[in-house]
Structure 1
Amino acid sequence: MLTAPAALLIVNGKSAGDEELRMAVERHREAGYPLHVRVTWEHGDAQRYVEEAARLRVETVIAGGGDGTINEIAGALVLLPAEHRPCLGILPLGTANDFALSCAIPQGLDKALALAINGKPADIDIAQVNHDRYFINMATGGFGTRITSETPAKLKSALGGASYFIHGLLRMDTLKADSCEIKGPGFNWAGEALVIGIGNGRQAGGGQALCPDALINDGLLQLRVYASEALLPILLNSLTSDEQNPHVISASLPWLEIEAPHEVTFNLDGEPLKGKKFLITVLPAALTCRLPPLCPLLG
């Protein structure tokens, strides 16, 4: 039996009873990998467990859940002193798993857990919002944000990522744009936005590649704005096509400011944030993460 550094697995409470997960954990323990397991019950649990992981001096904290769980754990890790900051591992257990899919994390729990424990660490960026909030994958605003936040849990459970698209079609009567101004280094745009994507990762909303050129280790965020002039057929085509569209605004920026005359909502990997002004800054190489050798998000 080998001797390996310990890891702490933080599992979203919704997945705690998953039999495949329990078997995967047991197999790795039997193979000699010390795995502590903690289960979240309410908001704030992930941060407490990350702080515990630092005290235990584990080498890796594994986020077992969807994009929201990964984001909460990543945001807690970045608050730790660098010298006591464990590596991040990812075990996809959510509805859409947008970040894990973009990173090419294996969907089988055995393979994903093996990667989370033994994968080669890579330096990755994380984004900071208004100095005290974070996202590892994407911030989205506009109509798409309202749809993802309103999609019923039962529909997500039954249909996975496709549930967001279906619910969006059912709510087309509520389609409206958000007026805003977006500034960054050498960039300024003002207008009516149907969808805003600010990507460290590439996809959100159950597989929509809003920021298809984003990388998680280039020190930049990809901004994509779908302006209100983009009628529905054009918009849907834009989300699945690389063709140039005059109503799609794109830029790569180390930081950006967004101001709106009225309150708008941004979705930070599943966590809503309301306001009229947002400052979003990339923190280069803020974390290390165990990723596949050919991860598409690494430049």
Structure 2
Amino acid sequence: MLDKLKSRRRTHPNVVVCSRRIQHCGLIPREHRMESTVSPLPTSFLILNGKSAGSELVRTAVNKFRLDGYAIEVRVTWEFGDAERYVAEAVRLGVDTVIAGGGDGTINEIAAALVQLPAEKRPPLGLLPLGTANDFANSCAIPEDTEKALLLAMVGKSAAIDMACVNHQRYFINMATGGFGTRITSETPEKLKSALGGASYFIHGLLRMDQLRADNCEISGPDFHWQGDALVIGIGNGRQAGGGQALCPNALINDGLLQLCVISAEEWLPTLLNSLSNDEDNPHIIAASLPWLDISAPHDVTFNLDGEPLKGKNFHIDIMPAALSCRLPPQCPLLE
């Protein structure tokens, strides 16, 4: 199967590999064409969220790069678990990159499948942002242009990045959020998200202020302890969630630390408004940098792990340093 992938570039009659670029030679006679003197272009395995499969921009970009000689296999997810099966298929094929095409939830599912593989079998992760908010991709400065993003995902320089593990069984690559913001994210109507993108979360939140309530919880970690009523809890490997809200503006994805941000319930309205402008002097915003932390509550609390819900009373969250390799822009803001 892999030989089939790599041979695809040789089936185009007018393609020549030269100086790591593919050049179309038009009607140049075969006897005058140059032979390839470099290694084949990398092979990629694109896993698309089903909602993005019909995108003409994606189809156009994939077809263009295939004509240019890149080997790209495409799979479309239909239900939970598909991404894990496709990652296993990609590993069997020995591809150079697995590309997550979708939003933060799609990236989460594919990254989680990769990180559970033996380290020597994990191909680099590429990002093709096609979701509503694209918080992780935007924080990483992935191009919004589909063609540019796909090219970066295929051939960009890879960097080792951290991931986080929750209760030894669930993962997040960007952020875990709890409290009022989590409820808003899960309750925002799909039609509103489609129409307004990331801003839909903020607008829907304003409409639901009458239902604002805090979660009583206790949070502890190395040389850290806090207990109280929290409106919003953010545990960041990345910086932003909920459609662009920078809960953890100083987070880095390769520093071996989690960034904690708690917005307490005291004087909740000014606290919440100040938090939106990243007021670091606000006494009701609690922040810490920790390699691990424990959260406990007397009642069920729901955390969104890159948008995927997890409910419980007790959470143990660890950072996993250098867990994955990811193809990122040269000046990615989330790298040290």
With the length of structure 1 as denominator, give the TM-score of the two structures: 0.99
Matched, 1:251 2:288: yes
Asked whether 1:180 is paired with 2:212, we answer no
Alignment match of 1:128 (pick from 152, 165, 177): 165
Larger Rg: 2
- 2-side partners of 1:132 and 1:179: how far apart? 24
Q: Are residues 1:277 and 2:324 paired?
A: no
User: CA RMSD, aligned part only?
Assistant: 0.8
1:231 matched to 2:231: no
1:69-218 aligned within 5 A: 69-218=106-255
SS at match of 1:94: coil
For 1:242 and 1:210, the matched residues in 2 are separated by 11
Kindly state the Cα deviation for residue 261 of structure 1 after the two structures are TM-superposed. 0.3
- Partner deviation per Cα, 1:113-169 (whole Å, 9 max, x = no partner): 010001000000000000010000000000000000000000000000010001001
From 74, 77, 93, the counterpart of 1:37 = 74
Structure-2 change in CA distance of 1:176 and 1:101 (3 Å): same
Inter-partner Cα distance in structure 1 for 2:130 and 2:255: 27
Distance 1:113 1:206 in 2: 22
Q: CA deviation at 1:231?
A: 2.3
Q: Distance in 2 between matches of 1:141 and 1:208?
A: 14
1:64 aligns with 2:94: no
Quick check: 238-247 or 181-190, which moved more? 238-247
User: Identity percentage over the alignment?
Assistant: 74
After superposition, the C-alpha distances for 1:151-204 in whole angstroms (9 at most, x for unaligned) are: 000000000001000100111111000000001000000000000000000000
Rounded Cα–Cα distance in structure 2 between residues aligned with 1:236 and 1:162: 16
Distance in 1, matches of 2:269 and 2:160, equals 38
In structure 1, the gaps of 5 or more residues are: none
Please, which of 210, 234, 256 is the counterpart of residue 219 of structure 1? 256
| Separation of aligned partners in 2, 1:262 and 1:197 | 18
Deviation at 1:239, TM superposition (A): 2.2
- 1:241–1:154 distance in 2 versus 1, CA, 3 Å: same
**Structure 2 SS opposite 1:289:** strand
> 280, 287, 296: which one pairs with 2:324?
287
1:32 Cα deviation from its structure 2 partner: 1.0
Q: Are residue 17 (structure 1) and residue 38 (structure 2) matched?
A: no
> Quick one: distance in 2 between partners of 1:89 and 1:63?
6
| Moved beyond 3 Å, runs of 4+ | none
Q: Distance in 2 between matches of 1:126 and 1:69?
A: 15
Q: Which runs of 5 or more residues in structure 2 are unaligned?
A: 1-15, 18-39
Q: Distance in 2 between matches of 1:233 and 1:183?
A: 26
Question: Secondary structure of 1:32's partner?
Answer: coil
- More relative contact order, 1 or 2 (CA 8 Å, 6+ apart): 1
Q: Which amino acid aligns with 1:62?
A: I
User: What CA distance in whole angstroms lies between the structure 1 residues aligned with 2:289 and 2:142?
Assistant: 25
Letter in 2 for 1:233: P
Residues 231 and 268 in structure 2, CA contact (< 8 A), matched pair in contact too: no
2:199 partner letter: A
Residue pair 2:161, 2:323 contacting (<8 A) in 1 also: yes
TM-score, normalised via structure 2 length? 0.88
Using the TM superposition, give the Cα deviation of residue 236 of structure 1 relative to its aligned residue in structure 2, in angstroms: 1.9
Instruction: Report the 3-state secondary structure (helix = DSSP H, G, I; strand = E; otherwise coil) of the residue aligned with 1:296.
Output: coil
* 8 A contact 1:208–1:240 mirrored in 2: no
Match in the other structure for 2:91? 54
Structure 2 residue identity aligned to 1:129: V
1:265 aligns with 302
- Separation (CA, whole Å) in 1 of partners of 2:112 and 2:141: 21
1:30 aligned partner, one-letter code: L
Letter in 2 for 1:11: L
Query: Does the CA-based 8 Å contact 2:230-2:263 persist in structure 1?
Result: yes
CA distance in 2, matches of 1:241, 1:140: 16
